[in-house]
Structure 1
Amino acid sequence: MRLHRNLVFAVIDGLHQIFNEGAYADKVVQKLLKRDKRWGSRDRGFVAETVYEIVRWKRLYAEIAEVKEPFHRENLWRLFAVWATLRGITLPDWKQIVPTPTRRIKGRFDELSKIRKFKESIPDWIDQLGEQELGKLWDNEISSLNEQAPVVLRANTLKTTRDKLRSLLEDENIDTEFIKGYPDALQLIERTNVFSTEVFKKGLFEVQDASSQLVANFLDVQPGQRIVDTCAGAGGKSLHLAALMENKGQVIAMDIYENKLKELKRRARRDGAHNIETRLIESTKDIKKLYGKADRILIDAPCSGLGVLRRNPDAKWKLQPEFLDKIKNTQAEILENYSKMVKPGGKLVYATCSILPSENQNQVKNFLSKETGEEFIFIKDKKVLSHQSGYDGFYMALLEKKS
């Protein structure tokens, strides 16, 4: 593989923004990909994947390269040299690249691969927490969360079927496969930019991880009901709910961030989802108005996001122990307050993209032991671990309000 100077410089610039300026990797990569109009899909693929790889393996590479944060330009080049060496890429004779001790890098890699926190490139505290909460499963889980996430699409059944979508994508030279147990999902066989396709512009699919696609189905919705998606964000699950309801009834998509709801409106227009109404949560009044009025409530709660490290590898470095304590309190408050929107006989799903029992089944257990929770019956839950499913780590619990 021959390295091209302008692509590698883009990677170094991106790493500087992520590691030293605290920028989010996905936003940085998005910007980098627009940097040069002459780049083809292979060039853009190299930039995106290399940035993500070095972000993912930051701790391991920094240990091998013997550099510490904040990373100076020279240090970033050393991280890049480690990445290239471990991939068997011959480094060019550029002045930015100091002579690279190939054998020492490989030897150091073998040594460090015996220690989990370096091998899996994670902060000490996350490693300890994972082991404490998941026990023996942690080894396989963190290893799986370091793999690149597959690209999964959800057929928008308001406009097409999964089979029809597959053949339309084939016409645009994109090959996909069905995933057993996921009725609306198609997985890309090769990574490609699906957003530039005609079928995407017509709103025939959304990009949504297979685990995330389980949540709307778990809520057991029927056409004509009133559903509230309480932490809707940009609305991936709201759109899925609208499709499952065949556009009949009402999906109220709520969030505290107006920009996310604007994005949801745009997506809903493209998808032809007419039964979604967005509502900004500005105070507790907005929640109280709906007390006892919803057939179904989805609480896709804010969480640590440890189940989606495959697609957000920089979250490992941004997450702090104190944030985790804070978010658990938020989860408990949301469950307590938002659950009051369910009418008698209605149902509620509490979901997170976390793999930690303390954010998942323990939260549900605590809720059910409180006064508000006593009105609910636990129906079932589903724990999705990445190493078992091949997709994101997720949790969902279904509760029913007593009639």
Structure 2
Amino acid sequence: MRLHRNLCFATIDGLTQIFNEGQYADKVIQQLLKRDKRWGSRDRAFVAETTYDIVRWKRLYAEIADVKEPFNRDNLWRMFAVWATLKGIKLPDWKYFDNTPSRKIKGRFDELSKIRKIKESLPDWLDELGEKELGNDIWTKEISALNEQADVILRVNTLKTTKEKLQGELFDLGIETEFLKNYPNALKLKERANVFSTEAFKNGLFEVQDASSQLVADFLDIKPGMRVVDTCAGAGGKTLHLASLMENKGQIIALDIYANKLKELKRRAKRNGAHNIEPRHIDSTKVIKKLYDKADRVLIDAPCSGTGVLRRNPDAKWKLEASFLEKIKQTQQDILQQYSRMVKPGGKLVYATCSVLPSENQKQVDKFLTSESGKGFTFVKDKKVLAHESGFDGFYMALLEKKK
């Protein structure tokens, strides 16, 4: 592989924004990819994947390059040189790469790879917490899996097409996919491709949604004609899945505290042909109180640490703080206490997170079930999805039933 100056400069600019200005990697990369209209798909892939790679391995590369934050541009070029050397890419004769000690880089890599928190590029506190909650063996396997690049998984919109038809349509565009056993609506891309530019996406035939995330709507045990409340709907990934499972029959009330996310959900629902979704902005407690004892099913896809989705959000490792984790656990319990009151007698509730930490998952459910609000519920089943076992994102979901 030959390194091109303008692509490398774009990567360094992106890393400056992510590491030094605290910007989100996905937003920065989105902007970078619009930088030069002459770039082809391979050029854009290089910028995106290299930037994500260096973000993912920030601590390891910084230790090998012997640089410390805040990183100046020279520091970032040194980290880039580490990335290229470890990838076996020949460094061009540019001043940024003068005196790069290639053999020393490989030696340092071998030496530092014996220390998990450096090898897996983690803050000390997060490594200690993962080991404490999951045990040494499982955490070692899990964090390694969470550092791998995520596959691109599509969820077929069954309101508009079938898995077989969509597979054929994408194949005609040169995009090969495969079915996933035990994921009835999923197609996995054999190679990464820009699926968002396809007519199939524009016509609402699919959404991009990880396989683990696709398990949540199924777990809710819904049937067409029910009244379902998606309490933390956001931009509606799971809401849209619920609509397709309900065949557009019944009612889905999509709640969120962020009005702009619900606006995006409306736009996506229109593209998906999902007509039974009613977005409602939670601007006061009245919105929730009006729904007490009214819902057949309630989904609480709770805000969480996001430790299960680090493969697709590698910069989250550096943004996450121990104090935030304590706050979010309080929020999770408050949401469970309040939103569970929307379930009618005989109805069901799913509590879900994209975290692998038991303190956000089964421990929250246990705490709820022993509380005053939770005494009216019985535990039906739960599912713990770990990335190193499934090959997909880490997730948790618990199904509870309200006593009649």
TM-score by length of 2: 0.99
1:255-270 pair list within 5 angstroms: 255-270=256-271
Task: Give 2:72's aligned residue.
Answer: 72
**Residue 284 of structure 1, CA deviation:** 1.3
Query: Deviation per CA, 1:318-344, whole angstroms, max 9, x where unpaired?
Result: 000000000000000000000000000
Letter in 2 for 1:261: L
Task: Give 1:187's aligned residue.
Answer: 188
Task: Give 1:390's aligned residue.
Answer: 391
- Of residues 374-383 and 278-287 in structure 1, the stretch that sits farther from structure 2 once superposed is 278-287
**Residue 98 of structure 1, CA deviation:** 2.8
Task: Give 2:371's aligned residue.
Answer: 370
Structure 2 CA distance, aligned partners of 1:171 and 1:143?
36
Query: Deviation per CA, 1:153-210, whole angstroms, max 9, x where unpaired?
Result: 0000000011111111111110000000000000000000000011111100000000
Structure 2 CA distance, aligned partners of 1:11 and 1:285?
48
Residues 1:320 and 2:296 are matched in the alignment: no
Residues 1:202 and 2:196 are matched in the alignment: no
Task: Give 2:116's aligned residue.
Answer: 116
Letter in 1 for 2:124: D
Query: Deviation per CA, 1:117-145, whole angstroms, max 9, x where unpaired?
Result: 11111010110000000002001000000
Letter in 2 for 1:86: L
Task: Give 1:139's aligned residue.
Answer: 140
**Residue 94 of structure 1, CA deviation:** 1.2
- Of residues 276-285 and 316-325 in structure 1, the stretch that sits farther from structure 2 once superposed is 276-285
> What SS class does the counterpart of residue 400 from structure 1 fall into?
strand
Letter in 1 for 2:139: W
- Return 5+ residue gaps in structure 2 as ranges: none
Task: Give 1:83's aligned residue.
Answer: 83
Greater than 3 Å deviation, 4+ residue runs: none
> What SS class does the counterpart of residue 111 from structure 2 fall into?
helix
Letter in 2 for 1:281: I
**Residue 93 of structure 1, CA deviation:** 1.1
**Residue 71 of structure 1, CA deviation:** 0.3
Structure 2 CA distance, aligned partners of 1:42 and 1:321?
38
Structure 2 CA distance, aligned partners of 1:130 and 1:319?
13
Letter in 1 for 2:209: Q
Query: Deviation per CA, 1:344-375, whole angstroms, max 9, x where unpaired?
Result: 00000000000000000000000000011000
Query: Deviation per CA, 1:263-302, whole angstroms, max 9, x where unpaired?
Result: 1111000000000010111121111111111000000000
Task: Give 1:158's aligned residue.
Answer: 159
Task: Give 1:279's aligned residue.
Answer: 280
**Residue 96 of structure 1, CA deviation:** 2.3
Task: Give 2:27's aligned residue.
Answer: 27
1:35-50 pair list within 5 angstroms: 35-50=35-50
> What SS class does the counterpart of residue 191 from structure 2 fall into?
coil
Letter in 2 for 1:380: K
Task: Give 2:311's aligned residue.
Answer: 310
Query: Deviation per CA, 1:59-85, whole angstroms, max 9, x where unpaired?
Result: 000000000000001101011000000
Structure 1 CA distance, aligned partners of 2:192 and 2:331?
36
> What SS class does the counterpart of residue 30 from structure 2 fall into?
helix
Paired positions, count: 403
Structure 2 CA distance, aligned partners of 1:214 and 1:103?
46
**Residue 99 of structure 1, CA deviation:** 1.6
Structure 1 CA distance, aligned partners of 2:22 and 2:283?
28
Query: Deviation per CA, 1:304-331, whole angstroms, max 9, x where unpaired?
Result: 0000000000000000000000000000
Task: Give 1:250's aligned residue.
Answer: 251
- Of residues 201-210 and 87-96 in structure 1, the stretch that sits farther from structure 2 once superposed is 87-96
Letter in 2 for 1:243: S
> What SS class does the counterpart of residue 358 from structure 2 fall into?
coil
Letter in 2 for 1:91: L
Task: Give 1:104's aligned residue.
Answer: 104
Structure 2 CA distance, aligned partners of 1:232 and 1:279?
10
**Residue 114 of structure 1, CA deviation:** 0.5
Task: Give 1:13's aligned residue.
Answer: 13
Task: Give 1:52's aligned residue.
Answer: 52
Letter in 2 for 1:142: I
> What SS class does the counterpart of residue 71 from structure 1 fall into?
coil
Structure 1 CA distance, aligned partners of 2:243 and 2:99?
58
> What SS class does the counterpart of residue 95 from structure 2 fall into?
coil
- Return 5+ residue gaps in structure 1 as ranges: none
Letter in 2 for 1:235: G
Structure 2 CA distance, aligned partners of 1:117 and 1:77?
23
**Residue 240 of structure 1, CA deviation:** 0.1
Letter in 2 for 1:312: N
Structure 1 CA distance, aligned partners of 2:83 and 2:173?
34
